[in-house]
Each structure stands twice: as structure tokens, then as C-alpha cells.
Amino acid sequence: MQDIALADFETDEVQWRVQAALLELDLYVRTHIDALTQGFIEAMREVCVQAAALQQQGEKGDIAYVTCSMLRTEILDGGNRYVAEAFDSRWFFDRKLCEVEYDASWAFGYLQRCRQEWLQAAESYHGTVKAPDIERIMLREARNFHAYLVTVTRYAMPEVIRLPEYQQLTRSQTVEFRLGEYMDLSEVVYKDDFRETDSEAVRRTLAAEEESAYRYEVFNHAHLQDLELEKVDLRYSRLNQCDLSRSVWNGAVLMGTRWESCMLAHTDLSFSLLLGADFSGCMLKGAKLQGIIAGQGTMQMSEGAVPVSFRGADVQEADFTGADLRGAIFIDANVRHTNFQGARLDQALFSFEAREQLALSEEQLQSVIWVKAQGEAGA
């Protein structure tokens, strides 16, 4: 009898409420991403300040891990706090506490609202749906709301690692930023790595079709020219001053990747997934990007769907035929002779000065946002 009641409760009260709450949260994150990013950055700044003080006292070694953890009991008690911590190479065995509370009510407030509605709805089930059942539902659904913390964290990390408070820390050669449950499983959402990349080792691994071997990795000064690969998976990786000239990476999974001063002249990334990728300042002259999926709105924000950026990049003579570039950023980019035939450019941002350089359809011209040099936007 209780199993039937729980199944009915899931169908009639749980599933639709969670979906409605997640849709609201998704819209909130899309429209407040910058403010949410700043809140996370400030929490990281305070963690770094505490860690530096402990290092000055000789009580903490080189920082190797920074975590932001969900507190299960906090969620069940109606709270929304996470705890951010910094550890040396001993990780959890580093017991010199360095922790800051992070308010995640912007995400978990929606789940707490669901909880109150579930408790009220349970009254009509005459005791067959109990408080412990709702607690189990809460813990199960928490991961869907936690996913938005992951998105905000990834979006914020390039700013975090540039913080003076972070730069002053004594750090290990690799620093992992991880999100998960407190003293439990966590995932790497960003990695800071100072080591030189062994280009030949990377080439051998990729050539052996170990496509997912380099997710979340850092590549420094890697020479990866003239590589021909399909469906390689480098999601959320960071590439610093790497050369991929003339490489062919069709159908690659490159969502959330960060490309810093990279050379991608005549590189073929056609039909790749590039949601949230940042190519700011990179050289992509003559690159082939036909059919890429990079448009904001293609996926939910919990899956990392922030705009792709080509801010200040050289994309002259690049081919974006049929690409999904909704919301993409092309401010200050060199777009001379760039092919946007059939591309979706709704709400894409272009410098006003580039208007005469572009051969866009009338529909495309009406759908983009022209940004003037002083930061004003115009139709």
C-alpha cells in the first residue's frame, strides 16, 4: 500500500514540481550569471586569505585542493550552505581548518520550496507518505540543483585563479578545484597546472583513440599541429599557448574549454560541441567551424550552456556555415571575410565597427546585437 502511495506521490507531486523549479532556476542563472559569479569569487577570495595566513604560520603546506561541498544535513534541516575549504597535498588528512561558508540559497531555495509543498501535499496521503520519504526525495533531487553550482563555479574559475589572494599562495604544481558532498565524492571542475605538457605523450594517447583521457586537463605549450582525430573529448580542459594549426578534430566535445593565446589557423572543428568554450584572443584564421553547436539555449545552464566567446579573436576567413551561434560573443573579433551562411546568430554580439565587414542575411542582421566601442548596444 505504501509503495503504491509513494509511486503516486512521485507522479502527482514530485516530478512536475522539480521540473518547474529547475526551469525557474535555469532562467535565474541565465539572467544573473555575473552576480552569482561574483558571489562565488568572494568566497574563494576569503578561503585564499585564510590559507595564506596558515601558510605564513607554517601550519599548511602547498595548496593542492580547493573544495566547495554540499552539506547533506544542512539541506535536510532547511538550510542552503556549502562549505569552501583549501587543503595541502594531504587533502582530508590536512586538518588545519581553512573554511568559509558559501550561501547557495539562490539554487537550493527552489528545492526548499518544493519540500514545503511536498510536506503539505503528503497530508492528503493519510500517513502513507512520511517525512523520511520526503528527505530521501530531497537528497536524490539535490544533485539536479547542485549541477547549477558546478556551472557557476566553472564560469567563475578564470577570475578566481587571477585573484591576487590566490596568486600569493604557495601552491602545488597542480591545484584541483572540486565540488561534491562534504567528506564524500566530488568532481574536478577546474584544474590549475604549471607543468609543461608532453606533446608527444598527448599525441600518442589521442592517436590510440583514448578520446576521453584528457577531460578537465591543462595543456601548456602543447604542439598538436596536423593531428587528425574524430570525437575527441576535452570537455572543460584549459589550453594555454598551444598550437593546433591544420589539425582536424571533427565532432569533438570541447564544451567549457578555455583557449588562451592558442594557434588554430586552418584547424577543422566542424560539427563539434563548443558550448561555453572561450577562444578570446586566439588565432583562428581560415578555421573550419561548420555546423558547430555553440548556441546559448541549446542546453540547460546546469549542463554548462553559457555563450561561446570569440572576443578579440582572429576569425577572418573562418567558415561558420550552418553553425548554432546563438548568444555568441564576437566583440573586437576580426571577422573580415568570415562565412556565416546559414548560421543562427540570434542575440550574438558583434562590434558595431565590424558591420561593414560582414556579409550577413537580412534576418541575421536583425537578430544580432551591435556593440559600440563605448559599450552601448544598438540594433
Sole residue written with cell 523549479? 21
Instruction: Give the separation between CA 186 and CA 260, rounded to whole angstroms.
Output: 27
Residue with cell 588528512: 93
| Structural contact between residues 310 and 331, judged by C-beta atoms closer than 8 angstroms | no
**Pairing between β-strand 171-181 and β-strand 218-220 as defined by DSSP bridges:** unpaired
The CATH class that applies to domain 201-379 reads mainly beta
Tens digit of each residue's pLDDT, the chain (379 residues): 567 878 888 888 889 999 999 999 988 988 888 899 999 999 999 999 999 999 999 999 999 999 999 998 889 999 899 999 999 998 888 878 889 999 999 999 999 999 999 999 888 888 888 889 999 999 999 999 999 999 899 889 989 999 999 999 999 999 999 999 988 888 888 889 888 888 998 888 877 766 566 788 889 999 999 999 888 899 889 999 999 999 999 999 998 899 999 999 999 999 999 988 999 999 999 999 999 999 876 555 555 567 899 999 999 999 999 999 998 999 999 999 999 999 999 989 999 999 888 999 999 999 999 998 654 445 4
Residues in contact with 37: Cβ distance below 8 Å, sequence separation at least 6, in sequence order: 152, 155, 156, 159
- pTM for this structure? 0.78
DSSP 8-state assignment for residue 14? I
The values of phi and psi at residue 49, to 5°, are: -60, -45
Q: Which three cell numbers stand for residue 11?
A: 507522479
13 DSSP assignment = I
Longest dimension (CA), the chain: 70
How many whole angstroms separate alpha carbon 105 and alpha carbon 111? 9
> CA-to-CA distance for 253 and 230, rounded, in angstroms?
10
Q: Cα–Cα distance between 224 and 365 in angstroms, integer? A: 37
Nearest residue to 327 (alpha-carbon basis) of 368, 364, 291, 362:
368
Q: Residue ranges per domain, the chain?
A: 2-190, 201-379
